[in-house]
Amino acid sequence: MLGPLVESAPGDMPPVYFCTLSCDDEVFPVVVGARSYAEANDLRDRVRLRLLVHPIRPCLHEFADELEMAKWAERTWPSAKVTALRRQIEAERRRN
């Protein structure tokens, strides 16, 4: 799963990030941060391209909303780790 670009709250680091989620024996989240929107967009595009041309051809689901990605992951790979991730995103949205 490839999440959207997300701008952090003012003062938080990194200023812009995106998350990828995959699962083998357990869910494996990766957060990739950048100093600017343009840099984060470039990194996300590079990750996307590498996944699309990978010899194993993984199934790639792209999301426009980080919370929707977390909910989809929770339904697909139920685990405490994914539930915690979803709750963290929900709490962040309530604060903002």
Measured CA to CA, the distance from residue 8 to residue 14 in angstroms comes to 7
Query: Is residue 86 very low, low, confident or very high in pLDDT (cuts 50, 70, 90)?
Result: very high
Query: Is residue 27 very low, low, confident or very high in pLDDT (cuts 50, 70, 90)?
Result: confident
Q: Which two tokens stand for residue 7?
A: 């701008």
Segment 49-66 shows an average pLDDT of 90
Segment 63-68 shows an average pLDDT of 96
Percent of the chain with pLDDT over 70: 100
Length of the chain in residues, anyone? 96
Full-prediction pTM beyond 0.95? Answer: no
Task: Give the sign of the dihedral formed by CA 30, CA 90, CA 1, CA 65.
Answer: negative
Q: Which residues contact 77 (CB under 8 A, 6 or more apart)?
A: 23, 27
Least confident of 12-16, 41-45, 65-69: 12-16
Q: Which residues contact 51 (CB under 8 A, 6 or more apart)?
A: 2, 58, 60
